[in-house]
Each structure stands twice: as C-alpha cells, then as structure tokens.
Structure 1
Amino acid sequence: MEFFEGASTVRLRSIHNTYLVADEYSQHVRLDRDGSCGGARWTVEIFTYIGEQRRLRLKSFYGRYLAAHRTETTFLNLTGKKVFQEAPLCFGPRVNWLPLRDGCRVRLKCVFDQFLRANAGPPPWRNSVTVDTPSFPYTRYWILWDVEFLETPAHPPVSPVHICGGASCSSSTVASDAAAASSITIQYKVADDAGNVDESSGRRTLTFAAGGSIAMLKRKLQEETGLVNIDVCSRSPTDSSLVPINLPPPPDCPHIQVVVVKANSNGESHPFSVLSFLGQQ
C-alpha cells in the first residue's frame, strides 16, 4: 500500500511501457502508449476493509471504478477474466484491489485472488487488460506495474527516531546509527553521448538520504557528474533497455543501481523529462 500512500491521482504503467487507460464512452479498459490523455488518470481511494485490512479503489477520469469480473472472459478464456469500469452506484467488492509490493514495482490483486495483467502479442490480445494468474515464466512480468504520481499532497519529511537506553548509548552513537538507517547507496554509471553504457566499467557510488525525492537524487547526480540536463534511468527486466525513473527509491532498498543519461542522448534511453522508478538491478 505504500506505493499509493499520499497520492491523490496516479498513472499505472505496464512492463510493456503502456499505460492503463479508461475509455470515455464505454466500460472498456485498455493499454495505450499515450499517458497524457485523461483516461490514463486514476484517482486513488484507500479504505479499511473487513478485519481492519486496507484496500484500494481506482476511479477513472470519467467517474467509474476499475473492476474485475469473476466469470466473464474477454478472449475465449485464453487470457483471464474481464477488466472493466464499474458505475459508482452499483459497485461491490470487485472494485477492491490489494497492492502487493514486488521488488520496486507493484502487483494489484483483485478480490478473486487474481492479478491485473497487461497483455501483449498479436491482436486482439495486444493492449488488452485482464485479471489472471501467470502460467508461463515470460508472462510473470505482465502483472507488474509502475505507479506514477500525478497529484501528491505535500507532507513534511519524517525524521528518523532512535530509541536508546543506558549510559553507554552516547549521542554520537545515536547520530551515526540514525544516519546509517536513513541512507541508501546509489550505484551509477554514466552513458555516453549516444546513450550507450560501458558495462565492463565499474560503477560509481554515492550516499543518498532514504525517503528523498527523485528531484533530490537528480540534483545529487548532477553535482557528482558535472552534467546539467540528465535523466536517471534503470534497466527494464524484459529487454534490458533503459527506462526513465520518476518515483523516489524505496527506503527499504539499501542498494540501488541506476544509469545517468544526457537528456538529449539519441541512444536507447527514452528522452522523457518525467522519471519513474523501476528498481534494483
């Protein structure tokens, strides 16, 4: 649930670099590479479910809720159950989703214990969305989503707390322990002007405050590299391409690997100014 904490509006990006998009004039939900359209915006509603369990609802830009059908299939029962937009006056548990962290991405499990899946392949499967449980190794990544914040309420940073008792616990010990617990190690490489990365060279490292924003990380890397206009990227697990990052590194990931790319590079990195965190390598 931490992926959605404090967010009011998000976009969901699949492993195929397509966005979850709601149709305006129907209940249909699909994938689209254009994440700038209104249909790619989802309002986050976090609520308490049975037994004090927290769940998530995602309301589309058009006022309907992302829902999973228990029995109805989309393509001859080949790619799981139907995903659609449910009207707000008649929704039930099928609009409830449980976010489950998977590394530095998220899986969305519906009430039927299946996962929101971005399909690929030839039409009509391409750009379709279903709920399913992956049955092949190569499809296990299809249920992973990146969460991109569009609107986020401002929250003051939370200072780390160290509880210590006894005379042997000095103030310097408290300070060093707190600093160690509130920092992560960023390992990075710098791509050349063509966007290529020398994989045989070693990685540079820097220490970054856990919980810091991606803008702070970008400024830190600018200071370290001397570059001005950069993108911070990570490797896609499917094809090893460089994909930009826009969420801060999770504070519980002590070591993160990234690639610094000049924003005007013509290589394999996408020239986005918006970044999205894809995780460890």
Structure 2
Amino acid sequence: MEVFQKAKAVKLRSHLDKYLVADDDRKKVRQSRNGSSRRAIWFVELVERKSNVIRLRSCHGTYLTATTESFLLGMTGNKVLQTEPEMVYDLKYEWEPITDGFQVKLKTWCSKYLRANGGTPPWRNSVTQDDPHVTSTQNWILWDVEAVDVSETGSVKDFMSSVSSLSSLSDEAFDSEPASPMSVISTNSPRLSLKQFSHINSNKFRSAMELFRNAKTVRLRSHHDKYLLAEEDEESVTQDRNGSSKNARWTVELVPNSDSIIRLKSCYNKYLTASNHPFLLGMTGRKVTQSRPQRLDSSLEWEPVRNRNHVKLKTRYGNFLRGNGGLPPWRNSVTHDIPQRTATQDWILWHVDVLDIHVQSPGDKPPAPQTLSYSDSLDFSPRSPSLVSIISEKFSRQQSTDSNVSSPPKVDGRTIYYHVAEENGDVDDETVEGYSFTFKGNGVDELTRKLKEETGLDGVIVCTRSPLNGKLYPLRLQLPPNAIMHVVLVLSSSEVAEEFSKQGLL
C-alpha cells in the first residue's frame, strides 16, 4: 500500500512481463508488452473512508472495474473492464493492494484478485478477476508496481489533460525516444513533447542505474557484510569478508540500447550469470556462476533496482541476486531467487562500492562493450570453460597450449529457446531470445514432454523455422546436432496445425 500512497500514477506489470493497459475503446482492459504507451499509466485515487483501498483511473478518465459478468460461460473468471464513473463510491471501482514479497495482489470488493491470464486464446493477454485454485496459476495474480513520476506536473487532472492532447498519436510513436531515468516533465510547457512524455517512465524507486552508469569497477557487499567473490575455479561465486581481494572486483558493462540493464564481469573475464541449475534439488534458489558463453544472452543481464540505500539486482525473469546465510551448504552461497520469508527479505539487498569510474569529456561516448567473436565453444554450461578463457588465462601458467586448443569442450546437453505462436502462427517478440532451458535428450517426443512441463500447455507441436523461407515446420524423429536450438510451440488446435495436417506434415 505504501507505493500507492506515495505515487500519483503507476504501471502494473504481470508475471508474463506484460503491462496492464486500457484500450482506446474505453471498455477493454488487457496485457501488452508496450509499457511506454500512455495506456499503461494508471492514476491512483485514495479512498477517503478506507485507508487500505484505492481506485485506478486510466488515461481515458475511466476506472478499472471488477464486474460480475463472466469472461467465458462455464469458467470462474469474471471480466475486468474500464467503465465511466457513475457513482465514484461504488465498490466495483475499489481495489485493496496486498503485499506479497516484492509484488502486490489487488483484491476486489468480492474477495477475488486481479488476474493476468496466460495460455492459449482467448485467455492469452486477457485480464479477469478470480481466485486461482490451481498451483500453476498462483503467480497470475501477482503484479510488479512501477511508480510513474508525475510529481512536478501539478495536479493529476492537469496531467491527464496533457496526456489527452497526445491521444491522436499512435503507441509506436512513444518508443521513438529513449527514457532518461533522472529526467522530469516541465510544467511550463502547454504540450508535452514525445521526449518529455517518455520521461514519465522514470521511476524514483528504480534509479539505481545512476550508481553504475559511470562506474568502471564495483564491489558488492551483502546484508551479511560479506563481498561478492569470483572463486579461483572460474566457475563458482560466493561471499567472503575479504573485500580487498581482486576477486571482489567486478567490471561494469552497460548493455547497448538499454538504460536499465548491466553486466558484471569478474577478474577472470567471465560474466556473473543467473543459471537455470537449481542450487539444491527441491529448493527454489538457482545457481549464480561465472561464465563466458558464445552469445551474450539474458542470463548475463542484471537490472539494478534501488531500495533506499541499497540495490537489488534483478534477473530478466524476476528473481534477485541473493547472498545466503545460515548453515552449510547455504552459508556464503549466492543464488538468484525471490525470498518468500520475512527473515530473508534483506538477503537480496547489496551495498555498492564504486572503486573506479570512467573519466570522460562531455563529447565522449561510453566505452563499447567487448564483443565475443570466437566460435569454438558452443556450450552454454558454466561448468565448461571456453576456449578463449583457456588460452588467455592459462597460457602464462603452462609452457605449451597444445592440450588446451586440441579440441573444444564436450557439449553437455543443448540450450533450447522457445516461443509460443498465436493461432495464425505469428510469434510475439521472436527477435528476443525467449525462455530457455537445458535439454539433454535427442528425441522430439522427449523434447515435447519437457516443453509441456515448462509451459503447462497440452497439445503442442514443436516446430522450427526453415532457413530457406522462414516458414514453420514440425520437428520429426531426431533433433539436429545443434548445441543451441530455437523452437516455436504451435497449439494442436490452431490454424497452423490444421494447415500442417492438410500438408501431411503431422
């Protein structure tokens, strides 16, 4: 509730990394990846008679409304719409924020929750109010709250009138200028420029990038007053009180075309990596390692999020870098996770010591990140050292490197990146790497079963794109001998699957 009391406007991001948006028809509410759109902004109104209840008003002046109308006949979810204000004190406009870890659940007047649906159409991108009973959908009612800084725009009413003056512009136009995290909107301008409007995305709770923007080298000190260390095996990452060690120094690398993402490189020239490997079987935390993959993927990327005087480092999929305490094997270990217990909430907080900075003249550009041009090793597993690291790090220790370069390391499984196609075969954001996991099998049937477990979808067809014409084709028999595969899941009930059947591909 605290963030809603301080913020005049917010954005709500679902577990699918999509934003709650109000369509221009002034009726529908759905999810969209376009968080820069004006339709993703919701203005907060506190309910005077209830200290723990809010109303959310869209850029159209309509209210987020929990209706009693069924979303689909025979299903439990009810529609969530945007409606014109009739009686502003009506309960259907009211939402009770309930904190759940670092996220929020929004409870309706009838004790249900705002839910962001996934899966197949018509559920995909829909928003309903429901009380999920299935374990796999428990996270669907959790929302990340991003405060929108309108503190210097005057009243919300004035700001909304400024927004409405831009209503004729398409949403794509709002992506034309990158947002500046520390910029504000001028109140002297009668009309907001596109650049000024993009500054609305700045979040005073997420300004931790200012610590890293000009930093060359940093140290990270955990809640346990121990430093993040890269171990000499060039794979493990731990905590230690020896902050003077070179192993505690991490080089900051800014990610191109992003104002909020960094990479951290150890003294062994390897990246801090959020792996998919569980730290302990049956536990939620996953290993954090040092690695140097052939391609710079999302597992190397961290989003600094400010928390008062500390920083949280967030992975692409919502986990946080965590310095663990307690008894062995947890003691001094480092994982990425979302802490569920109050006692471990501070374990994801880090104090940042800036050791070196980039000294630049006003016209200088930030240093370009180092690119990886080698192609000898295709293994993403942090257990397998890359050929470059073997040559660069061990050459001085051995008089001959013949044994190091004779053959690339053996590939232990392959990395599968996957997307789920729409009914017509279109894939949303296919240019992005997508979700991934390590697969050690060779058969299509085995891969299909694994993907069903990963996605929770039944009746899927595993497809790949032809390198000749870019069309989707079902995978059959054995998988190709690639260390990295990009696949697309097609629902067996979709139009594309019907087309496959007509062509005799199934």
Q: TM bucket by the smaller chain?
A: 0.5 to 0.7
8 Å CA contact retained: 1:42, 1:58: yes
Q: Which has the larger radius of gyration?
A: 2
CA distance in 2, matches of 1:101, 1:119: 20
Cα deviation, residue 185, structure 1: 5.6
1:55-110 superposed Cα distances (whole Å, 9 cap, x missing partner): 111100111110101x2111224251110012123441111111000011000001
Indicate how the Cα distance of structure 1 residues 204 and 77 shifts in structure 2: closer, same or farther if over 3 A, else same: farther
Q: 1:11 to 1:228 in 2, by over 3 A?
A: same
Q: Does 1:201 align with 2:237?
A: yes
Q: What is the alpha-carbon distance in structure 1 between the residues aligned to residue 124 and residue 237 of structure 2? A: 38
Alpha-carbon distance in structure 2 between the residues aligned to 1:42 and 1:249: 23
Partner of 2:82: 85
Trace 1:230-249 onto structure 2 (pairs within 5 A). Answer: 231=261, 245=303, 247-249=305-307
Which structure's residues are more often strand, by fraction? 1
| Alignment partner, residue 24 of structure 1 | 24
What is the rounded CA distance, in whole Å, between the counterparts of 2:127 and 2:3 in structure 1?
Answer: 21
SS of alignment partner, residue 43 of structure 1: strand
TM-superposition CA deviations, 1:174-196 (whole Å, max 9, x none):
xxxxxxxxx956989799xxxxx
Question: Which residue in 1 is equivalent to 2:39?
Answer: 39
- The 3 A distance-change label for structure 1 pair 82 and 5 is same
The aligned length equals 216
1:229 aligns with 2:287: no
Q: What SS class does the counterpart of residue 54 from structure 2 fall into?
A: strand
Alignment partners' CA distance in 2, 1:134 and 1:68: 16
Deviation at 1:245, TM superposition (A): 4.4
- Contact 1:186–1:257 (CA<8 Å) still a contact in 2? no
SS at structure 1 position matched to 2:47:
strand
% of aligned pairs identical? 36
- SS of the residue corresponding to residue 131 of structure 1 reads strand
1:5 Cα deviation after fit: 2.7
Q: Return the offset for 1:6.
A: 1.2
Which structure would you say has the larger RCO, counting Cα contacts within 8 Å and 6 or more residues apart? Answer: 1
Tell me how far apart the structure 1 counterparts of residues 305 and 8 of structure 2 sit (CA, whole Å): 15
Q: Which amino acid aligns with 2:124?
A: R
CA separation of 1:186 and 1:132: change in aligned 2, threshold 3 A: farther
Alignment partner of 2:93 out of 68, 92, 95: 95
CA distance in structure 1 between the partners assigned to 2:227 and 2:80 by the alignment: 39
Contact 1:115–1:131 (Cα < 8 Å) also in 2 = yes
Distance 1:128 1:189, change over 3 A: farther
Q: State the match for 1:178 in structure 2.
A: none
Counterpart CA distance in 1 for 2:75 and 2:140 is 15
- CA drift of 1:113 comes to 0.4
Query: TM-score, normalization: structure 2?
Result: 0.36
Instruction: Quote the residue 2:490 is aligned against.
Output: none
SS of the residue corresponding to residue 97 of structure 2 reads strand
| Alignment partners' CA distance in 2, 1:140 and 1:9 | 26
* Counterpart in the other structure of 1:59: 57
Deviates more, 1:35-44 or 1:2-11: 2-11
Structure 1 unaligned runs (5+)?
155-182, 192-197, 207-222, 272-281
TM-score w.r.t. structure 1 length?
Answer: 0.62
Query: What is the correspondence of 1:254-269 to structure 2 with a 5 Å cutoff?
Result: 254-256=346-348
Q: CA deviation at 1:9?
A: 1.4
Question: Which letter maps to 1:18?
Answer: K
Q: CA RMSD in A?
A: 4.3
Q: Which amino acid aligns with 2:71?
A: T
Deviations 1:244-272 (A, max 9, x none): 647533898322168x9xx969999x89x
Describe the SS at the equivalent of 1:255.
Answer: helix
CA apart distance, 1:202: 1.7
Q: Which amino acid aligns with 2:44?
A: V
Q: 2:116 aligns with which of 115, 118, 126?
A: 118
Matching residue's letter, 1:14: S
One-letter code of the match for 2:21? V
**d(CA) in 2 for partners of 1:11, 1:229:** 25
Runs of 4+ in structure 1 over 4 Å off: 183-191, 203-206, 232-237, 239-247, 263-268
In structure 2, what residue type is equivalent to 1:256? I
Deviations 1:93-143 (A, max 9, x none): 111111000011000001110000000011010000001111100100000
